[in-house]
Amino acid sequence: MLIVDGTLVPTRDRIVAASSKNYRYSTNHQVVIDADTRLVVAVGKPLPGNRNDCRAWQDSGAKAAVGTTPTVIADGGYRGTGLTIPHYRRHKDEELPAWKEEHNASHRKVRARVEHTFARMKRWKILRDCRLKGDGVHHAMLGIARLHNLTLTG
């Protein structure tokens, strides 16, 4: 089982970045991890930070890197992509049944692993304010992903 999520990396290169929800110029990186080992499986190409996760999933190449993996889970931002997302209320007044609430709780626990991976990767100063130009942002993200995998495997 794989987990996918997008993260914003602030960068100063305005050619590959765009102003995003936090009003900084950043790039959106789609990261895929293995749910059991927490190793980074794939990192998509950087897209401007104002792209939503549905579009970034396809355009970054992360979807192609995953291939035909049977189960890929994601958050609610990936509606309509065919990924496993949590159950959601269709109307504001609607209540979810208990079994859907339980399923969402287990989904959150599994998805927390990708957020912990982001926290570990963003400890590196280069991802907090990336000053690299062009493909340098992508290469920095790939390097940090490899370092993350090395620290987990020993």
Structural domains in the chain, sorted by start: 2-88+96-153 (3.30.420)
C-alpha 78/C-alpha 82 separation (Å) is 8
Average pLDDT of the chain, as a whole number = 89
pLDDT score of 23: 67
pTM above 0.85, yes or no: yes
Q: What percent of the chain has pLDDT over 70?
A: 99
Question: What does the pLDDT average to over 77-99?
Answer: 88
> Is pLDDT of 21 > 80?
no
Residue 150 pLDDT more than 90?
yes
Please answer whether residues 68 and 76 qualify as being in contact, where contact means their C-beta atoms are separated by less than 8 angstroms.
no
CA distance 38 to 116: 9
pLDDT at 14 over 90: no
